A = this chain, B = another copy of it.
């Protein structure tokens, strides 16, 4: 994990597809590389957006906070992805916090540099449109899901997405590659940590997942998918999610 990252890492990033070696040097020449420790706040909601970032290694979570302190995890960033780019194009402050959930290595550019870069290399702007477009589509889908679907299904979907995005195969299943608390899952799915805890515990009893502190391992992704998609042949565990025998 050298502080001068392999240029090939940058060359692979979606944002810089279609650039020549010369242009890549141009890009890298204007960048700054930095290590950040787990737990570090990289930028805060409302800060003037003067810098945009790419993640080389580690995981970063993007968290939005409401007027009364309610938080929502907007996105998890993995290696090769950009973050903090939004506000750079729209002006104004960052719309959310960014926090390193593991030790990370990041590259950053000043907003001005990035804008220049895009004027010099239109393909970078178009690549970014592509990325931002996908992200917008994702968020819109999530918006529909969160309005129309039950909590259990939302949690199932969230786990499946996390596995896809950050799954690490382990003995007897797939784990999620960074610390993920029940509270985190709640802030992804728009529910409370209590409900998440109950739901996951019920799933653990059914052998679908295995739980640990800030850790979830998926043992039976098919059943999870069945829950997420409401496929027939898999009885929902709704009843047992509630207080057990109470009711």
Contact = CB atoms under 8 A, between A and B. Distances in A.
A191 B148 CA distance: 8
Interface string A52-77: 00000000000010111010101000
Interface stretch (A127-135, A164-172, A175-183, A232-240): A127-135
A136 interface: yes
A24 to B, nearest CB: 18
A187 B55 CA distance: 36
Given A132-B136, A139-B139, A146-B190, A115 B126 contact: yes
Interface stretch (A35-43, A89-97, A198-206, A215-223): A89-97
Contacts of A91: 130
Interface in A126-162: 126, 128-130, 132-137, 139-149
Given A87-B137, A119-B123, 7 more contacts: A70-B144, A72-B147, A96-B140, A118-B125, A129-B132, A136-B136, A139-B143
